[in-house]
Structure 1
Amino acid sequence: MKKSSLFLFLVLVNNITNAQNLTRSDIGYQIGENYIMFQSMYLNPGSDGIGVTWDLSSMTDQFGQIDVTISDNTSLFPNSNAVMAMSIGYNDYFNITNNSIEVVGGDFNGGSIKNYTNAQTFINFPITSLSNFTDTYESNSNGGSEVTLGNIHEEFSGSGTLITPIGTFTDAIRLKQTRIQSSTINSITQIDTTISYLWFKAGVHHELAVLQTIKSTLGDGENGYYTSADPALKMEENQLFNVSIYPNPTSGNIQIKSTENILSLKIYKLSGELVLEKDISNSLGIELNIDNLNSGIYLIHFYDENGATSVKRISKI
């Protein structure tokens, strides 16, 4: 009995240890990337744990789509380095570092401005199976007439496979956020408690899906959305045949060396968008110019004469 208990304990520890760790380069918003939010009804978010399958395939875009662009047009908030611009006219401003993603401001069509006097932490890096933090934040809107005080708690909620209407994403992780905030305007205070579940996968630089419930003094609600991403795209590096790239990071030209004859290559954004395709005549080495690509992280897929594919990650600066 003791031996069996020890075995189960070791299996549990091994599963937790093998849960994927995510960094800024894995899931942090990237300048120049675009994606779509499909606004959906709420579904049961499923259980916590390691090796879970979350089936959200019945989500629909019945409430419309929102186009999202991540840009560096951050002049409105000098303490930000990325802005999430949405087709509905609202923009969120972030300060993204290797340690965290913080919300520092917001605006609606350049008019109504939200200033954070104490930034709201959205994510702390790295995300591990032990991730757990609490943060406070404060903001004011409408020229200071509306003041919001809040507390956010975030914790690792599981890892496994996520299924959305877009496709099946293996090696996904889930975070749970609990946010309690009070907003006061004209002496009237509204108190909201929002519980959100967010799914991520290394190589997709935005959330794959979000489900949330809201309990408020003005009424309760629930909603969700899933996003566009290519589940079939190989997001991780692999070496089915050896390929070296230098310099990496690069500002323009790169040298590519391979142990196999390369027939062609394709370069993808981490969102899954194909940005460059090139045929090569059975070469073990080439020089490639990527001056026309925006700064960011890309995946290069190399195809050899035997049909094998090797994937390398490259940083354009």
Structure 2
Amino acid sequence: MKKVNFFIILMLSSFLNAQVFDVETIKYSGDDNNRINLVILSEGYQESELADFISDAEKFTSTMFAEAPFSNYTNYFNVYAVKVPSNESGADRPSTNTYVDTYFNATHEAFGKPYLLYYEVDGYSTNNTEAKILSVLADNTPNYDVGLILVNSPDYGGSGGSFPMAYNGYWGNNVIMHEIGHSLFDLKDEYYPGDELASEAINMTKETNTNSVKWKNWLNTNSVGIYQYTCDTGNCADWYKPHQNCIMEKIDKGFCSVCKEGMVARIHELISPIDSYLPSASNIEALNFPIDFSLSLIKPNPNTLESNWTLNSNVFANNLDEVSINETDLVEGENTLITAITDNTSLIRIDDYETINIHTVTWSINYSTLGIETISSENNLSIKMYPNPTKNTINFSFENGNNSNLKIEIISLDGKRIKTLSLKNFETESVNISKLNAGVYLANFYSDNALLSTKKLIKQ
């Protein structure tokens, strides 16, 4: 997971004094190093109001994790609250000449927009607010992934950017979720955000071809379509969105299916579902049979993780968190046990996703000494097979973190091996299958002779 740049922290510390505040844990799911850590900073709460801030932070957390896909992946998040006191309550509002002394200089009507609640936009740029935010996060919660600012103001407002900000009023919790959609998941507004912010994204496109649009697999499901943006100015007519009732447009709605898919894919990029595994140290000696191998997984709710265990390229077990290896299971010399974890969530309809997102742990067992020589883990293995279905040519591409090669076997349903090829890391290879009979075939993917995945190949 990407963390704050510690070079920046060191630079900030050279001109900002460390500001250490009380931190409360709102939600703890596990080790910060394998969780998405949301940190909520108080703004416009006086010292006497910090108990109210914690209550507001708890209400936001409850609201957020009752909403899909956060509810499905609640175990992937930690939430912390940093009690940063302000000298005065509230936020600035320039139109009424209202200015209050708050820590992060929260200001309504930022950049002339009535509902934009932001910092550092009332003329006092010498406050260097963004540096203050970075410093507070670094000094108090250095493992943060997203810093949120909750403003003690009854007036509707919020903003995205590097540090999502929202008021604490009636719709405040929904506003923060909307803004996190921008900041953490790179979702676009589904009301027209203006020409300067319009671009290709998870939920925004110029593509109108139903066979090519990026959310094609969701069309006509859950009201997903290709809807033109509307507005009075700019180039909004060039752009299209997937839904007409998504929280990225209307704050009282939930996330649409396309946004949920993009959010889950982002969670998978940030977090491995493998929290830990045993044995976890090399050169383990004096192990007695049976030898136990186990995983501690971060499971979605409901659990959609699937595990595939292979021993020496043969399927050994499926959908188990622990297996036992007996002496009779091993061959003399080197043995390889691999577990491959995929998430079979219905929230994802990305083509070949079950082969793109694989997390593995590999154990090498030398039977002659009954010792585990090496243990390695490999995340974010990417295997792509396209187009599928196809008439003439199928393309394979492969990326992984340890530069191992990939072996691919194309097999007919009656078990006959049709084609075997080797694919190097970061390479793409095209295979001509025009002479094959139309029908369904299996493509088996192996790394270091261990079966990682099987994918149906459809020849038209």
Report the TM-score, using the length of structure 1 for normalisation.
0.28
Compare CA radii of gyration and give the structure with the larger one: 2
Which structure has the higher relative contact order (CA within 8 Å, separation 6+)? 1
The TM-score with structure 2 as length reference comes to: 0.21
| Bigger fraction of residues in helix | 2
Higher relative strand content: 1
